[in-house]
Structure 1
Amino acid sequence: MTTSAARSAGHPLRELCESLLSRLEELSVTVTDDIRREIPSYAAMPLAEQLDTVRSRLRALLRGLALDVEPTAEQLLEIRAESLRRAYYGLPVQDALATFHVGARRLWDELRATARGTAAEDTAIELVAPLWLWVQSASGVVADAYADEAGTRYGREAGLRQRFLELLRTGGAPREHTAEIARELGFDPDGDFRALCTPAAPWAAEGHLVLLQRAARRLAGRVSCGLSGQLMVAVTQGVDPGDLVTRVIGLAGDEARVGVGLDRTGLAGAEMSIADAERALVVSERGGHATSFEDVWLRASLIDSRDRLEPLFAAVRRTAGEQPQLAQTVLAFADAGLSLSHAAEALMIHPNTVAYRLGQWHRLTGSDPRTFTGLVRSVVGITG
C-alpha cells in the first residue's frame, strides 16, 4: 500500500532519505545511545541486540520514507517479534513505545539538518506525515504484542496460582512438585509463608480477583491469590499482612472479614498458615478488619472439637446466657490479671461485689474462675 505514488529516483526527498541511509551505522549508534540515556530500563537489554534492532528499524523506516510507502506486513511482524523480546527482558510497554518517539525525534532532527542548503530544504516538512504514520503503525503493533503477551503470561500464572493453592490445601502431590510451582511464582519454598483468607463471594465476580492480584503486585514481597471452595486464599511471603488486608477490604467492601494465619516456615508451614487463617475467619466477629490467629488461637483451635467438647461448656454457656452480668465479671477478672481490685475498677463496682459474682458463677457452672482450669473453661465457654 502506498500513501501516494512512490518517489522516483532523483526525487529530492528520496535523495535526502538515502543520504541518511548512507550514514546508517553512525545514526544507529546515536539513536541507541539516546534510547539508553532517556529510558533507563533498556540497560536490561543487551547492547548488541538493541543496536541490531535499531539499525534494522531505521533502515526499514528510511527506505519507506524514501519510496513513500507504508510498513509492510513482514516489517510489522518483525516489530512484533522484537516487542515480545522486550517483554521477555521485563521492559514496560510504555518504555517500548517510547523508543519509537525517541528515534523519530532524532531522525527528524537529522533530516532537517541534512536538508539545509539542498533541494529538499523547502519540502522536508512533507516527511512529517509519513514519519508519524510509521510511528503509529509500529506503536499499535507493540501495544498489541504486549497485550497478547500479558494475557498469555497472566493466564499461565493464574493457572499456576490455582494449582499451588490446591496442592497446599490437599497435599496430594510430591513436595518437590509443589516447590517447583512455588519457585515459578517467585516464592522461596524454604522461606516463611503467611496466609490470609476471606469469604469467596466478593471475588467470584468477573475480574475482582485480577484486581486484587494486580494491587498485590505493588507490595513488597510475593502474593498468590486464588479461590478454594467458599474461600479466597492469599498465600504471601515477605508481605506486611496489614497492607494486604487494607487492599482486600478496599476491594471487597467495609464489611469484609479476613482471617490471618501465623508466619510459618516452608511449604508445610504454608499449609498450616492457611488452616490458621481459616480458623481465625470462623471465629471473627465483625467485618472491616482482620482477625489474627495469633490473637484468637485458643478459640480458633477448638473449632474442630466443638461438638466433642460441648458437654464441658454446656453449663458455662447456659449461665452466660441467663446471667450476662456474671459472665461480664468473669471476663473482666481474666483481663485484669486475676486482680479483684483491677476488675472492680474496670466494672466500676466494689471488689467485694466482684468476689461475690465470681462465687455465684462457680456455684451455677461448677467452674471456679479463681483457678486456672476453671477460668479457661469459663472464658472459652463464654467467648466460644
Structure 2
Amino acid sequence: MGEPRNPRRSFVKFTGRKTKHAQRSNPVDVIDVEEEDTIRRLCREVSDELEALTERAVQQIRSELPAYSAVPVAEQGNYIRKQLSAMLCAVAENETITTEDTDRNRELGRRRAMQGLPLSDVIETYHIASRELWDTMVQRSTKPTHELLQAGGKLWDLVHAATSAVAVGHSEATRSEQAIRAGVRYRFFETLHSATDMELSNARELAQTLGFDTQKSFQALSAVEDEWSEAQVEHLQRTLDSVHVVAHCSRHGSRVIVMCQGEPTEVIHAIMRDHPRTSLGIGMPRVGLVGAAQSITDAERTLQLATAPGTTVSFADEWLIATLATHQDELLPLLQAGASVAEEHSHLMDAVRAFARSGFSVSAAARDIHLHANSVTYRLDRWQHLTGWDARTLDGLMKSMVSLELFHRKTLAKI
C-alpha cells in the first residue's frame, strides 16, 4: 500500500480538539464533539495495535495473492503499516487523502508494475488491508453507531482515492519502456537472491535481456542511504547506461544493488558523485550466475562494515571481518572484552593496532605512534591484563584485532 513520507499527525492530538467542521458557525454543519471524540478514541485504540494489524494484513494478502511472493515481506509491511496509519488519521480527523499520499500511492503503483504485479492484485491489497482495518474497528467499538457507519463510509472513500492513484501510477509504468526494463532488472536481482537451480535458469534469460554475458564474471555493489526513491534509482540507471561497462541497478528495501561486468571504477564514481553520503559494499568478481549471486552476498556482508557515511569497503580487502560479521551474535560473548577495554582505554587499543601494522615489532610500533618502546610494552601488558589476550602471540593478536574490527568499529562510527 502507499507509504506517506511523514505521518500527517500523531494520534495524541485526536482528543480534546474540534475539527474544522465543528468550528463552523452554521448549526447544520456542527458535529457533536462527544460523538466526534468517540471515533477519535476508537482510531487511537486501533492505532495501538497497528503492528499486529499490519502483520495480519500482510499474511492475508500473501495467502490470497500468490503473486506477492515477488515482493519482500519487510517492504510490503512497511508500506501497509504507514498507509493504515494515514487512513486512521484521516478517519479520525474526517479529512481527505493528501496530495503527498496521492503522490506516494502513484509511485507505489509504478513500483508494483516494475515488479511485474498485475494492477488487479495491487488494488486488491488495499481492499484486504482496509477490510482488516475495518473489522478491527468494529471489534473495538462498544456498539454499532451512526458515527461508526459514517467512519466506515469515510474509510472506503479513502480506499477509492488511494487505489485511483495507484491505478494511474501502474498504467504510467506499464506504458513506459523504461519501466519495462526496470521490471526486468528487479526480477533479475530477486532471482539471484533466491539462487535455486530452477530460478537461476530463469535468471539466465533475464541476464541476457539486460546485455550480460552469463559465462563471464559478475561483480556486485550494495549501496545504502536513508532512502532511495524510484526516481533516484532510475537516474542512477541512466548514468550507468552511459558508462563503458554493462551495469544495472535495482532497489531492494533501503539498499540499491548494482551488478556490472568489467572494471567497476566508473560505476563506483557514478554512485558516489550523485550520493556522496552513501555507504558502499563491493563484492568479489565471480564467474557465472552462481558467482553473481555470491557477489551480491559479498557486497551485502561488506556493507555492514561501511558504518560511516560515504565509506566504501571491498570484500577483497575485508573478507575475513565481513564474513565473521554475519556471526556477530555468536562471537559477542567471546570477543566483547576487547571492544569494552578499547572504549575505556583507547591508548591501549592504539598500541595494539600499531603493533599489528608494524610487523609485530615493538620498536616499530613505538615509532609509529611516537612513544618509547617501553611505553608500548607497558600498554601491551596492560591490554593483556584487562582482556586476557597477549597481543604478542598469534592467538591473542587475532582475537584482539577481530574484536576491534567487529565491535569497536561501530563505536568509532558514532563519534
The answer to whether the superposition gives a TM-score over 0.5 is yes
Per mean C-alpha deviation after superposition, the further-off stretch among 151-160 and 173-182 is 151-160
The higher radius of gyration belongs to 1
Q: Secondary structure at the match of 1:220?
A: coil
Per mean C-alpha deviation after superposition, the further-off stretch among 172-181 and 212-221 is 172-181
Q: Secondary structure at the match of 1:362?
A: helix
Number of the residue aligned with 2:195: 171
Q: Which runs of 5+ in 2 are unaligned?
A: 1-171, 407-415
Per-residue deviation, 1:163: 0.4
Per-residue deviation, 1:191: 0.9
1:1-384 map, 5 Å: 152-172=176-196, 173-199=198-224, 201-204=226-229, 206-238=230-262, 240-252=263-275, 254-384=276-406
Q: Which runs of 5+ in 1 are unaligned?
A: 1-147
Per-residue deviation, 1:304: 1.7
> What RMSD in Å do the two structures reach over aligned CA positions?
1.9
Per-residue deviation, 1:202: 4.0
Runs of 4+ in 1 over 6 A off after TM superposition: none
Q: Secondary structure at the match of 1:212?
A: helix
Q: Secondary structure at the match of 2:304?
A: helix
Per-residue deviation, 1:151: 6.4
- In the alignment, the residues of structure 1 paired with residue 239 and residue 404 of structure 2 have an alpha-carbon distance, to the nearest angstrom, of 39
Change (3 A) 1:200 1:270: farther
Per-residue deviation, 1:332: 0.6
Q: Deviations over 1:346-370 (max 9, x none)?
A: 1101112212211111121111111
Per mean C-alpha deviation after superposition, the further-off stretch among 162-171 and 296-305 is 296-305
Number of the residue aligned with 1:134: none
Contact 2:282 2:299 in 1 (8 A): yes
Contact 1:200 1:229 in 2 (8 A): no
Contact 2:298 2:315 in 1 (8 A): yes
Q: Which amino acid aligns with 2:397?
A: L
- In the alignment, the residues of structure 2 paired with residue 282 and residue 312 of structure 1 have an alpha-carbon distance, to the nearest angstrom, of 20
- In the alignment, the residues of structure 1 paired with residue 237 and residue 309 of structure 2 have an alpha-carbon distance, to the nearest angstrom, of 21
Per-residue deviation, 1:200: 5.6
Contact 1:202 1:208 in 2 (8 A): no
Number of the residue aligned with 1:94: none
- In the alignment, the residues of structure 2 paired with residue 350 and residue 249 of structure 1 have an alpha-carbon distance, to the nearest angstrom, of 42
Q: Which amino acid aligns with 1:221?
A: V
- In the alignment, the residues of structure 1 paired with residue 213 and residue 264 of structure 2 have an alpha-carbon distance, to the nearest angstrom, of 18
Q: Deviations over 1:284-304 (max 9, x none)?
A: 132224211122222211122
Q: Deviations over 1:15-72 (max 9, x none)?
A: xxxxxxxxxxxxxxxxxxxxxxxxxxxxxxxxxxxxxxxxxxxxxxxxxxxxxxxxxx
Identity of aligned residues (%): 35
Change (3 A) 1:200 1:156: farther
- In the alignment, the residues of structure 2 paired with residue 301 and residue 175 of structure 1 have an alpha-carbon distance, to the nearest angstrom, of 24
Per-residue deviation, 1:228: 1.3
Alignment length (residue pairs)? 233
Contact 1:196 1:277 in 2 (8 A): yes
- In the alignment, the residues of structure 1 paired with residue 226 and residue 208 of structure 2 have an alpha-carbon distance, to the nearest angstrom, of 29
Change (3 A) 1:162 1:378: same
- In the alignment, the residues of structure 1 paired with residue 302 and residue 199 of structure 2 have an alpha-carbon distance, to the nearest angstrom, of 28
Per-residue deviation, 1:201: 4.2
Contact 1:249 1:288 in 2 (8 A): yes
Q: Deviations over 1:320-357 (max 9, x none)?
A: 12211111100010011111111111110111221221
Contact 1:260 1:277 in 2 (8 A): yes
Q: Deviations over 1:150-194 (max 9, x none)?
A: 964322211110000000111254322211111111111121011
- In the alignment, the residues of structure 1 paired with residue 228 and residue 254 of structure 2 have an alpha-carbon distance, to the nearest angstrom, of 10
- In the alignment, the residues of structure 2 paired with residue 289 and residue 217 of structure 1 have an alpha-carbon distance, to the nearest angstrom, of 24
TM-score, length-scaled by structure 2: 0.54
- In the alignment, the residues of structure 1 paired with residue 314 and residue 205 of structure 2 have an alpha-carbon distance, to the nearest angstrom, of 29
